[in-house]
Structure 1
Amino acid sequence: MKQSAIKFNAQPADVHMPTYNYLAMVDPTYTFTPFGERESHSLTPLEFNKDGVVISSNMVERPLKGQLATVGRLILLVLSEGDSKSDRQYPVSDWFHGFGDSSVDWAPTFCSTDEMPSPWSATDEFYKYGPKFKATDPVKPIFGCREWGYQLYDDMRPYIDVTSYAPKTKSHPHGTYIRPFVGWARFGDRKPVIGKDADTWYCLYDCPAGDQPGPIPDIAQWATRSGWPVPQRPTRAPTFPDAPGKQGRYVTSAPAQATGTR
């Protein structure tokens, strides 16, 4: 993923100006190869201070600052090397306010381009929350920004499960995979990011009890240690499609009895 970003940024300036791919400038904190994938996937977190300056280690000589930029009807989070229009900008994601009262459980949230509604949503097979999206394809990322937002805002939920839950097929017999996703958090949030790929659970970020990112040998034991419920599959995926699609829900079992500390 980082190598692809480096190649993109190396193209002639008129190909991608004024934007560049930020993944070329930031090192991932965890890398693994998901089931059925030839290339590895990387977790690349961006951490900011309260002035909006990126404090994650990066290769940009000037300070990078997060800004919300308006492009037409879209609001984008971009990283900028300065305030001039000629300064390099690195788009990160879209800021989506949702649909009012019907989306208060999961919005506002940061989304990728294929998760944003548009005038073509009703016929776009790549739009994750539209009627034409095929959630039966295990290669596609089925987990998305709305599912992230819901779990982030739910104060009773101790972690964020980024698993793409898909039907089982001959080529993908597990039905649980980690696919590319966009996540975010507010100052003070501290929820482990976990996911199941094939038969293995992983803690990807902000792991409890000082654990480093990596495989979780026993998810029940991992959850019990902190007094948390074992993660359950949501009732449908994607869980929060556009109306009139049927909404799903996240099932939370009874919390386990803690055997250690967070």
Structure 2
Amino acid sequence: MSETIREVVKKRYAKAITGRKGCCGGGSLGSSCCDTGLSKATKMITGNLYSESEVEGLPEDLIATSFGCGNPTALAQLYPGETVLDLGSGAGLDVLLSAKRVGPYGKAYGLDMTDEMLEEAKQNQRKSGLSNVEFLKGHIEDIPLPDNSVDVIISNCVINLSGDKDKVLNECFRVLKPGGRVAVSDIVLKKALPPKLQQDMTAWAGCIAGALSDTEYQGKLTTAGFENIEVQVTQVYDFTESDSEMFAQLSKEELVQLEGAIVSSFIRARKPKVNVV
């Protein structure tokens, strides 16, 4: 992964989590009471993804520290006793939700590269009282877990942030058990972005510039060895009237080009089972 991209992403999300810690709290689901430095476009993507019932029993401000583009734990099939890995686990919301679903005989790992996120996640785990959780520091291009050790990999708007998505998906294939599943929410492109936006680091950290097209995503999963691949659109975004700084550089014609281009999707795939001879 390009160190420039990685450092931009790391700094941006470290600033975001420290900006939201210690906020006034009590806001609506998916809304923040603080200026985190994330763009308005990113806030449009990350808002209103979880219901009150889903986060019941978890720290009340945890939802405000989620920067995802979907709700993979609501869409993924998780079973008691399974081992789940969340790539780019942030403040730990999806990890804690997964831990509740796989139960005390299951395990939920969270992997993140940002110290500030990991510290927040560990605090949230302590508040939740869940013991079947472990947060790991590392990069999603080099997952610090053994081969064939995970039943399900989830992720929430993180794979698009990587500069080496082939390596990420190869690592996913490596750590999954035979028959294991990928079930991730991510930003996907339905048509090409204006070149200026593709090269913009703010747009990359904002989950847009690094996104793959749906056919590219499927192709990379196939190359990594996965089968039963499905890309399901869950939300279409309209940025044509956006006043975000991310789009200030674009002309009216380029803004029109964005119409229908950026969507949230739920991506499923499976690692083949080993043939029994």
Comparing both chains, which one has the higher relative contact order based on Cα–Cα distances under 8 Å and sequence gaps of 6 or more? 2
Instruction: Return the structure number with greater helix share.
Output: 2
TM-score of the two chains, using structure 1 as the length reference: 0.26
TM-score of the two chains, using structure 2 as the length reference: 0.25
CA radius of gyration, larger in = 1
